[in-house]
Amino acid sequence: MRMSVLIALALALGLAHGSHARADVSPKHALLLAKALSYERRLAERKGSSVGIAILYAADNAASKASAQSWLKAFAALGALKVHGVPVEVVTIPFQRERVAELVRARGIDVLLTCEGSPYAMVAALAREHRILSVADTRAGVDNNLSLAVFVHREKPLILINVRAAKAEGAVFSAKLLQLATLL
Amino acid sequence: MASASSGTLGFVTASMLTLLGCNVAIENPPAYDAERDLCAAKGAKEWDALLESCREEFEADGGCAGLISFTGQLENEALTVDSELGINEFFDRVTVDGVEIRQQIKLHGRSPYFVFAFEFRGLGGELSDEDQQRSLSFGSGTGDFESLDDELVRGALRMTVGGETKAFAPRRGNLTIAHQAQDEQSATFEADFGTAGDHLTGCFHAFAPKRIITRDTAADAGL
Amino acid sequence: MPACSRRSWRRAAPRLLVLALIALALEVRPAAAQEGELDIEDVQLDALLERDLDEQLGTTTAVSRKSENVMTAPAAMSILTWEQIRLSGARTVPDLLRWIPGVQVYRNGPGNHVVSLRGTGGLNGNNVVVTINGIAINSPLDASVDWDLVPVHVLDIERIEVVRGPVSTIYGQNAYTGVINIVTREAYGRSTSVAARGELGSDLELGVLGALSGRYASNGESSQVSVLGSGELDGTGRGGVDLDVPSMRRAGVVSHLQVATGRSSHLGVDLCASISERSSLDHLVLESNPQTRALLLGAVHFAAQDISDVLESAEISARSMAHLTETDPSLYQGFSYADTRSNRTAIGADVGFRLAPQLGLTVGAESVLDWVDAPYVNPSANDRIYPGHGAYGTLTYSPFERLHLTLGGRGDLPPATASFELSYRGSVVYEANAWSLRLAAASAYRTPSYVELGGRFVDPATGLILLEGDPDLNSPTNETIELGLIVAPIATLHIMPTIYVSRLRDVIIEDFEPLVRRTFTNDPHARDLLGGELEADWQARDDLGLALNLGTLHWLNADEHETPTVGVPKQSSAVVAGARVHGTLLRERVGYGFGANFASQRVFAVRAGVPPSIIDSDVAAQTHAFAMAEYFLGSDLPLWLSLRVLAALPDAAESPLPAASAGGATAVLGLAYGKE
């Protein structure tokens, strides 16, 4: 009980700090994404020694790159985070289909976190091919068949799930999350 | 039983009524509403016709042992009953001198809600084929209501339904005997019962295939 | 401080702050994680989503037939969510309702339950409107509810909403003490959901229980469809006084189709069919013989939202329900419901206006056609169609953001009566961030049933009328004032106390004292009831929840008249309380629940049966305990194994009716496939 209150307080401060510094990703978003991942049953079953998150960005898009850096920092601010009992490892990579595919195979990536500017359709195809989860940082991503998005909507954090896309990627979300998330 | 399909036209009609805003209340009047007060003056012709038909039936095969009708209030409920009588019992006494006196009668009938038995004890009076107008009083006083020599009578009304029986005793009122023959008895009555407001008036004409006769002996006569 | 150091400090500050707070928090759970580690399991989703109390409580359409926040709704209500249902161990909807404050449930036999809300309902439970997805399933004959005809398996119920208190302004007749709405499960988002499950169980007398159920639900771009089916055999809990209490066999199907016809309009079609054979025991039939009942229900509605700036919503609907009871009268020594058929068909319209940003108005009207055909209804009243009409209006006004006023009224010409019934509702709700206070007053009525109005029960052996209805009966009314509070002292703890006073007038009593004519009459004496309800839910962690429910009744004016009636005060327990725990382990691989529900002793005398006889009842205090666990095998083959153990203590009948059977103890194994 006390933990969740303190975490929420910390996150609120983090958001406040974040909003003063830049209108960008705060540690709360990262924590919310991690929480959403904790309700994905297949991830619980297939994870290895870690949950790998690859943050994808468009190399020729400064805003996309900045967003990726922002996500990286947000995760870093959380310190040693565990999801499904294993550590979360986060890397950034400019989107290039073969390179990302190689990264997925080599590093055991479980989640493709796609920053705006990246080609959503290709990311979705990659996720389905490798049966891993695709995540967006805006609604546009979910509208374009990525599975999940975490963002702020009307000053409140929101989880948006494209259930059909998630199913195509082999993801199985717990009913508890589906009841609280906004579903497409 | 009518099927749902037979109500189709009624359904359409009711739909129209619905659109017109009509509202239909359920009809479920007490079954007493369909009963007749045969003793009332306006019913006299009906009574005579029914009695004649009943007599024919009784003489043919013993069915229809008479008629009874009463109306009023009992247990705070307004009621009217008309019923054919079932197997009646006449209890008579024959004196040493051969005079036949009626001791008591039991009448059985039914209403829509209960079967009943009327019992009148201590009637007295000789049997005769002549009509008469002999009035006896109901009551719960100290008189000997079993005596046959006075003008008092003890009455009882027992009702039975669903395995439950209740008995009512008339406290005040009169029983006026119009005819008292060997196998026929007719009278009118009116009486108050125990509960305030409970009052019945009625009439009956009974035939009896069965008389229970008690004969006085010389010892009974004190000889 | 050097500029680079100041920049470094600003960059490091948030992480240090977070780590500091985490470190502090970690002191509470020293064994949970290593220093500096944060396990996501220790973080609550509600906190991350910053859900306020009103968001946590959610919205409902049960109170006003319009979506509104539970926190500001003008009536007390309780909601059981799917997870709570799944981990409650309950196998039937009445078992679920035991966890609602103010509700009392008792079981006559397998599949034969009576549910009473707020002290009324007596022996036939006809004071509550029960709906499936908003469509009422009460019998047109006497408004009773056949819980075995609810065609949905409990695990296919998304949510149960219970509105406690009079709600006739919205639902018309018979919403005397509340409304129970069963919302069936649908697919999540645009997807298809399939589930199938089987159950097998037994009680200590080796009575067998078996059930099969399944669900298909699909949400497309512009349509939603769901079909839910279930079948069950329940031979458990037949022990006790009469070991020949029949088992229950039932089957049912519910289907729902909704098609978008425009940007914000849709057409919906609902179909329900259900058939059941179970014990006939009830307050008029005191024998326990097999009896078959069937329900067929169809409904169509068209709804549109945001039609214009002023016209917020519009809906037209039509529904028809047929109800049938059949039995073999030769099995009975007394009265039975053989050859009973009834139908209720209704059309309605509802329009919502936004007159001003703070002012809303809803108006509506409904016309009903009832048809009843039964051998125990007076032939002059039988097999006829009875129309009824109702019109209502509700005004909602929020002069300030936190203050909500509601005023509603409804006028009805109920079927088969020549009366005009008026019901009203008024409420003031003040809403703060972590609490809301509700003061409400409402009235409701119950239309006398076709049995009470037009019944004529004739003894087949003698031809005598054993019991007769009275067409001039007044409708019993319930006027209630209540004060309710919803408070969250901490974000994850909800406490909802309610206190109310009700005046019941014209209660219908079975006046069986006179032998001259046995009928129903209105009690000339009003009955006053003081009641209290408490509901508390604590989501201690995402994977652990605790719930408490408490209801208490106190009749203010003693029943001076010893004429036992259908709705005697002491028929309901003075205290009903329950506590349960539900949670998950191993990252939701395992689910569990356990708890107990207590109902205090009931001592009363009542007339029941045809012909009526006095039953002296002394029902001991009852406790129902349960424990359940379920295990999820894995996503590759989404199978769930479950074990439920339910026990009624003592092992004695909790129903006052003779020939009722005891509940006993039952264990049920279940296997389910699909996304649960």
Predicted pLDDT of residue C558: 61
∠ CA C290-C295-C298, nearest 5°, is 175
Assess B25–C contact: CB distance below 8 Å, yes or no: yes
Instruction: Give ipTM to 2 decimals.
Output: 0.86
Whether residue A11 lies inside any domain: the answer is: no
The neighbours of chain B, by the rule of 3 or more Cβ pairs under 8 Å, are: C
Residues A105-129 pLDDT 10s: 998 899 999 998 999 999 999 999 9
- Dist. CA C159–CA C651, nearest whole Å: 31
Provide the phi-psi class of A121: left if phi over 0, else alpha when psi is between -120 and 50, else beta: alpha
Asked if the structure places residue A1 within a domain, the reply is no
pLDDT at C589 over 80: yes
Q: Which residues face A98 on adjacent strands?
A: none
Q: Closest approach of chain C CAs to the CA of B14, in angstroms?
A: 7
pLDDT greater than 90 at residue C303: yes
Q: Helix or strand or coil: residue C207?
A: coil
Q: Which of residues 625-644 of C touch A (CB under 8 A)?
A: 632, 634-636, 638
Predicted pLDDT at C667? 95
What does the pLDDT read at residue B7? Answer: 44
> pLDDT digits over C521-573, tens only?
888 888 899 999 999 999 999 899 999 999 999 988 766 555 555 556 678 89
Looking at residue C374, its pLDDT comes to 94
For chain C, the first-to-last Cα distance in angstroms comes to 58
Q: Which of C11, C52, C191, C590 to mutate to test the interface with A (most CBs of A within 10 A)?
A: C191
Q: What is the pLDDT of residue C538?
A: 96
Q: Which of residues 7-66 of A touch C (CB under 8 A)?
A: 7-11, 13-14, 17-18, 21, 27-28, 31-32, 34-35, 37-39, 41-42, 44-45
pLDDT at C503 over 60: yes
More confident residue, C196 or C13: C196
Residue C355 has pLDDT above 90, yes or no: yes
Q: Write the pLDDT tens digit of every residue in A54-107.
A: 999 999 999 999 999 999 999 999 989 999 989 999 999 999 999 999 999 998
Whether B29 sits inside 8 A of C450 (CB atoms) is no
Place of tokens 């247990």: B75
pLDDT bracket for residue C304 (50, 70, 90): very high
Strand-strand pairing, B172-181 and B184-192: antiparallel
What radius of gyration, in Å, describes the C-alpha atoms of chain B? 22
Parallel, antiparallel, or unpaired: how do β-strands A51-57 and A86-94 relate? parallel
Rounded mean pLDDT, C316-336:
91
Q: Which uninterrupted H or E stretch holds C423? A: strand C421-431
What's the rounded Cα separation, in Å, for the pair C131 and C120? 19
The answer, for C45 touching chain A at a CB cutoff of 8 Å, is: yes
Asked if B26 lies within 8 A of C464 by C-beta distance, the reply is: no
Residue C464 sits at the chain B interface (C-beta within 8 Å): yes
Which parts of chain B register pLDDT below 70? 1-23, 42, 140-146, 220-223
**pLDDT given for residue C510 in this prediction:** 74
Residue C21 has its nearest CB partner, among A9, A32, A77, at A9
pLDDT(C30) > 60? no
Q: Could you tell me what percent of chain C has a pLDDT over 70? A: 92
Judged by CB atoms closer than 8 Å, whether chains meet at C14 and A39 is answered as no
3-class secondary-structure state, position A104? helix
Q: How many domains does chain A have?
A: 1
Contact B31 C470 (CB under 8 A): no
Instruction: Name the B residues in 128-187 with CB < 8 Å from any C CB.
Output: 159, 161-164, 166
Model confidence at A3: pLDDT above 50 = no
Q: Confidence class of residue C27 from pLDDT cuts 50, 70 and 90?
A: very low
- Per-residue model confidence (pLDDT) at position C155: 92
The reported pLDDT for the residue numbered C78 is 95
Output the pLDDT for position C195: 93
- Buried b / exposed e across C172-206, counting CB within 10 Å, b at 16+? bbbbbbbbbbbbbbbbbbbbebebebebebbbeee
Put simply, the answer to whether C40 touches A3 (Cβ < 8 Å) is: no
Average pLDDT value for chain A:
85
> How high is the mean pLDDT of chain C?
88
Residue C124's pLDDT band, with cuts at 50, 70 and 90, is confident
Task: Please indicate, yes or no, if residue A7 is contained in any of the structural domains.
Answer: no
> What are the pLDDT digits (tens) for C50-64?
888 998 999 998 888
Contact C237, C207 (CB under 8 A): yes
- Residue range of the domain that includes A61: 24-183
Q: Which CATH number characterizes residue A51's domain?
A: 3.40.50.2300
Residue C35 burial (C-beta neighbours within 10 Å; 0-12, 13-18, 19+): exposed
